Structure 1
Amino acid sequence: MPAPPSITQVLIVGSGPTGLTLACDLARRSVEVRIIDKAPGFPRSSRAKGPNPRSLEVLADLGVVDRILAAGSAPLPMRKYRNGLPVADMDPFEASRPTPDAPYDRPWLIAQWRLEEILRDRLAEYGVHVELGSEAIGLTQRPDAVAVTLADGRSIEARYVVGCDGGHSPVRKLLGVSFEGRTTEEQAMVCGDVAVDGPDRGFWHQWFDEDGGVMLCPIPGTRSGWWFQAAPERDGAGAPVPPSLESFRRLFAKHTGLPGDRLTRAELLSTYRVNERMADRYRVGRVLLAGDAAHVHAIAGGLGMNTGIQDAFNLGWKLALVVTGRAAPALLDTYQEERLPVAARTLGLTAERLRDTLDAIREPGGGLDTAITPETLGLGPDGDYPWSSLSRDTRPGRHGDIRRATHSPGGPANGPRAGDRAPDAPCRDAATGAPTRLSEVFAGPHFTLLGFGPDTADALRAAEADHGGLLRATGVDAGTRHDLNDVAGHARSAYGIERDTLVLVRPDNHVGLIAPAGDGRAVRDYLAL
């Protein structure tokens, strides 16, 4: 009799940035994970422009940010044209600087295929590889597992399945989850990777006229590669003309005034339509949705891929605790509780940015910089979870308090709330004097208990003794074994510390708990997930 098929712990369907981020996060937690994709080969499309500052923090935690920074470039200044002539140069990040609590002050320009390649390489370091040519066509849920049927007749069984398979998600459709919203044909855009001779590669070029425009952004790591985006030609019925080398040449000549034959190659062509849709549920039993499978947004602000990466980082630690038996399955309900409202706000933000950008480009000097606001960087309150059942504050007069602190990267007035992004800060290792950062303490699959001041020392020692495999206890001028010196006061300033305080930071680097210095019981209760 043949042996029964083995059951993997987590199966991820879809190997874009969301699926790869989740797979890397699970693999480093020693979770058995498989990741499949229906494509026969890995895509080479440039598509998304790159990670925003919050996603860079996530990628730093996963240990790949240095590779990404080396493979890409800082955002380029934008050169804007009218009637074929340059009218303005604009650098949206000219005045931006890293701050003690936010070391990344701008997004990073990198082709999506290169970002995915870096994540695949990281995943391979854990012995996990994407299984190509594996199309999911069926789902059967049982009380203890999910069976996924593939188009080639194979079946994969897993304790949990996560659909990271894009806006047309077969997993979402197999679950019967609605995807309400709208698709706007009037704002369609044709896109592709092209080779162009002539334009200065030190700029993102934007030609806008009353009847359309062309945008060219150089692809980092290439000599002649560019992202091409344009308002499409229309046929007699008003429908977008499918993209081709010939149509790109006509659009290029029309809007730039340059010879169309300077554009010598066009590939990986697509027509983008504005989609604003969101799933009404992120979890059905043992199957979850993330990234574009759960929400799609207008392109303005570049938040689509970034929202998916941050979905994965929110879900990874929760799924790992559940499949390893360290937390009850109900913990997975907090994924939807936290991320669905963020997606709803992102839909509103990107729609607003798109409207403002379309208004701006009607005027000379208007351009895509209008789409960039502090909210699109991912460091502000729009990505926080103060309402979450996982956000707790036991300080006197604060329990259940979800007031909005006056937080902004670079200098919060009274510190983060429970549920907010945990600020970074430069410190020194108390034992060696070596410079370090809070983000380096947070990095990894653990919770971090920060103890500000010597009155937290007993609670830190108790927490480490009780939860050593789950938690890293670190004192900040607390006089403990693992201690940091806040020599410049940046850590206390970032967290609004006025008296000795415990701060429990979740594995996804959000503040889970704020408690008085001696309230070790609050830490124990929180970790009884």
Structure 2
Amino acid sequence: MELNSVKETDVLIVGAGPSGLTLACDLARRGVRAHVVEQAASLFPGSRGKGIQPRTREVLDDLGVGGAVREHGGAAPVGMTWKDGERQGAYDMFRRAGPTEAEPYGEPWMMPQWRTQEILLARLRELGGDVLFSAALTGLSQDGGGVTARLTTGEVRAAYLVGADGGRSTVRRALGITMTGETVDPSPTLVADVRIAEAALDRVDWHIFLGEAGLLTLCPLPGTADFQLVARFEDGTPDTTPEGVRALVAARTHLSEDDVTEVRWSSDFRPRAALADRFREGRAFLVGDAAHVHSPAGGQGLNTSVQDAYNLGWKLGQVLLHGAPAALLETYEQERLPVAAEMLGLSTRIHRGEQERGTAAQQLGLGYREGPLASGRAGLLEAGDRAPDGPTGEGGRLFDAFRGPHFTLLAVGTDAPLPAYTGELLRTLRTEGAEAYGKGLFLVRPDGYVGWAGEDTSGLAEYAGRLGLDLNSA
């Protein structure tokens, strides 16, 4: 976009973090015009949100980057405690499970945040989109037809605006949306990406150093030569300079300053939990850290953020391109705000040692049963549940059939007639062997949740019409 020009688009996304890039990819594959701006000159450089939960892996697979996530990530290492330069023993802080028919991703996966963003940006470019860097939002106004955003590079006129610009969100402040929160831990924490001499420390374990000087951990980051360093301080302001990081390692571990061959990125923060009072104001929405800020404990922040975008993307697509009523967009906050509140509570309890990481942290059990788009039940599932994986009966997987921006009407173990729909928005599939479903008909939303369920198609057409899906077109 040329300086001082005015650009028109369907959706303006402010922020090129994980949530902004996820939303941009989802909109691009639907054919929605989206313009992404980022005030920084490049993508975020640090490893900060390194944990990829199983549900998020399913989302990324649907967006077409599952192979890249497998290639560049790896399983979370087992913890190894140290004291006075001696190994004290290993312990595993995660629930690990092998893949099952219904849940193909069971174990925690790790990939530095900067790599996740690189993968999503590459996918966005494959889909014909891109990010305008060094473009900061300076103001916005709304009317009945759209949003006008003022940027340092010019103006953008969009039907909708999405603030994906982090915990200090300019969009949130411009909308007058407040955040309610608490300090999870008043003690400051330093986080850094460092490189350690190969002979000084192995990359097999997640190293946890205990001692009077304070806690320090070094976690090898898969697909890189880096370790993520995390150190908690009782008070004061951590020294985030390379010299300060090296001195910290020498003070709290058996390693020397010279063993830290490079400090690639560093920052400090005080763990906080906060939730925006609402996720929408008119034609503007908040996703990710702009809507909720988590303690890093439990690895919920990035994952919840990605899933915000995944929930909003298909709804924007249906309203903008397929005639769905604008009321569909109201369901974004109705579905996601309770989930964000639940995950904030989980992160805080894990941080304070009140709860261990477990199945809840994997986010596979999250759903929208009580939400405005849940209708009916059949077999083993209720509308609002995550749609499990399973065999198609033709040598394939249900997740392969779900992949893409369409809805899927799934008939499991029943010969109930299906609508004679011939459009691109809906695919139909019959299978006998998807055990996690039981028997019935299931309309799977584009974001992988069961929207409607029943023993026959009674009520299906009316429900689908609320989503901009006309089942009478044949």
TM-score norm. by structure 1 comes to 0.83
Aligned to 2:451: 512
How big is each residue's C-alpha offset from its partner over 1:146-194, in whole Å with a ceiling of 9 and x where there is no partner? 0000124x11110000000000000000000001112356232101111
Partner of 1:274: 271
Which has more radius of gyration?
A: 1
**8 Å contact kept, 1:160–1:287:** yes
Decide whether aligned partners of structure 1 residues 389 and 94 sit closer, same or farther in structure 2, where only a CA change above 3 A counts.
closer
Q: Give secondary structure in 2 for the equivalent of 1:121.
A: helix
Conserved 8 A contact 1:504-1:523: no
Mapped partners of 1:220, 1:201: distance in 2: 9
- Opposite residue 224 of structure 2, the aligned amino acid is T
What is the identity, as a one-letter code, of the residue corresponding to 2:438?
G
Q: Is the 8 A contact 1:40 1:132 kept in 2?
A: yes
**What residue is the counterpart of 1:214 in the other structure?**
216
* Structure 2 SS opposite 1:502: strand
Give the 5 Å matches for 1:294-443: 294-356=291-353, 371-380=356-365, 383-393=366-376, 415-429=380-394, 435-443=395-403
Deviation (angstroms), 1:247: 2.5
Q: Work out the percentage of aligned pairs sharing the same amino acid.
A: 41
Deviation larger for 247-256 or 99-108: 247-256
* 1-structure distance, mates of 2:276, 2:292: 6
Residue of structure 2 in register with 1:89 after alignment:
90
Contact 2:452 2:463 in 1 (8 A): no
Residue 208 of structure 1: CA displacement?
2.0
Q: 1:494 aligns with which of 428, 433, 436?
A: 436
CA distance in 2, matches of 1:181, 1:439: 37
C-alpha separation between the residues in 2 aligned to 1:82 and 1:417?
A: 50
Q: Which amino acid aligns with 1:522?
A: L
Which SS does the other structure have where 1:419 is aligned? Answer: coil
SS in 1 for 2:298: coil
User: 1:18, 1:308 within 8 Å by CA — same for their partners in 2?
Assistant: yes
Q: Indicate how the Cα distance of structure 1 residues 516 and 156 shifts in structure 2: closer, same or farther if over 3 A, else same.
A: same
Aligned 1:442-457 pairs, distance under 5 A: 442-456=402-416
Structure 1: which 5+ residue stretches go unaligned? 358-369, 396-413, 430-434, 478-485
Match of 1:105 in 2: 106
Tell me, yes or no, if the aligned pair for 1:513 and 1:523 is still in contact at 8 Å: no
CA contact (8 A) 2:15 2:163 kept: yes
Distance in 1, Cα, partners of 2:221 & 2:36 = 28
Question: Which of 433, 452, 464 does residue 526 from structure 1 map onto?
Answer: 464
- In the alignment, the residues of structure 2 paired with residue 190 and residue 147 of structure 1 have an alpha-carbon distance, to the nearest angstrom, of 38
Distance in 2, matches of 1:510 and 1:185, equals 35
CA distances 1:370-416 after superposition (whole Å, capped 9, x unpaired) = 75211111112xx2111111000066xxxxxxxxxxxxxxxxxx622
> Deviation above 6 Å: which 4+ runs of structure 1?
none
Q: Which stretch of structure 1 is more off in the superposition, 109-118 or 239-248?
A: 239-248
Q: Counterpart in 1 of 2:472? A: none
Aligned to 1:204: 206
1:63-109 alpha-carbon deviations (Å, 9 max, x no partner): 10111110111111211123332111124568521111000012221
Counterpart of 1:409 in structure 2 is: none
Q: 2:284 aligns with which of 282, 287, 290?
A: 287
1:69-80 maps to which residues of 2 (within 5 A)? Answer: 69-80=70-81
- The alpha carbon displacement at 1:249 in A equals 2.5
The answer on whether the counterparts of 2:74 and 2:222 sit within 8 Å (CA) in structure 1 is: yes
Q: Secondary structure at the match of 2:352?
A: helix
Match of 1:257 in 2: 254
The residue identity in structure 1 corresponding to 2:382 is R
Output the CA distance in 2 between the equivalents of 1:137 and 1:30. 28
1:262 and 1:58 mapped to 2: Cα distance? 39
Aligned to 2:218, the other structure's residue is in SS state strand
For residue 63 of structure 1, give the secondary structure of its aligned residue in structure 2.
coil
State whether residues 83 and 255 of structure 1, in contact with CA within 8 Å, keep that contact through their aligned partners in structure 2: no
- What's the counterpart of residue 407 of structure 1? none
* Post-superposition offset of 1:325: 4.4
Cα-Cα RMSD: 1.9
* Worse-matched range after superposition: 30-39 or 184-193: 184-193
CA contact (8 A) 2:412 2:437 kept: no
- Give distance in 1, aligned partners of 2:463 and 2:300: 35
Q: How many residues of Structure 1 are paired with residues of Structure 2 in the alignment? A: 461
Correspondence for 1:408: none
C-alpha deviation, 1:250, in angstroms? 2.8
2:436 pairs with 1:476: no
Q: In 2, distance between residues paired with 1:95 and 1:331? A: 37
Q: Which ranges of structure 2 fall in alignment gaps of 5 or more residues?
A: 468-474
Q: In the alignment, residue 55 of structure 1 is paired with which amino acid?
A: T
Q: Which moved more, 1:22-31 or 1:348-357?
A: 348-357
Looking at structure 2, the residues matched to 65 and 217 of structure 1 have their Cα atoms a distance apart, in angstroms, of 23
Range 309-318 or range 76-85, more displaced: 76-85
Q: Aligned with 2:187: secondary structure? A: strand
Pick closer, same or farther for the CA change 1:94–1:181 going to 2, 3 Å.
closer
Give the conservation status (yes or no) of the 8 Å contact 1:416–1:495: yes
Question: What amino acid sits opposite 2:387 in the alignment?
Answer: A
Instruction: Give the counterpart letter for 1:21 in structure 2.
Output: T
Counting only pairs closer than 5 Å after superposition, residues 154-193 of structure 1 correspond to structure 2 as 154-184=154-184, 186-193=186-193
Take 1:178 and 1:69, find their aligned partners in 2: how far apart are those partners?
38
CA contact (8 A) 2:79 2:207 kept: yes
Letter in 2 for 1:419: G
Letter in 2 for 1:137: T
Q: Report the alpha carbon displacement of residue 307 of structure 1 after superposing the two structures with TM.
A: 0.2
Contact 1:190 1:231 in 2 (8 A): yes
Match of 2:471 in 1: none
- Matched residue SS, 1:428: coil
Amino acid of the structure 2 residue aligned with 1:516: E
Once residues 389 and 307 of structure 1 are traced to their aligned partners in structure 2, the CA distance between those partners, rounded to angstroms, is 20
1:301: how far off? 0.5
SS of 1:336's equivalent? helix
Query: What secondary structure sits across from 2:210 in the alignment?
Result: strand
Residue identity opposite 1:36 in structure 2: V
Q: Which residue in the other structure is 1:65 paired with?
A: 66
| Corresponding residue number in structure 1 for 2:470 | none
Is 2:96–2:106's contact at 8 Å kept on the other side of the alignment? no
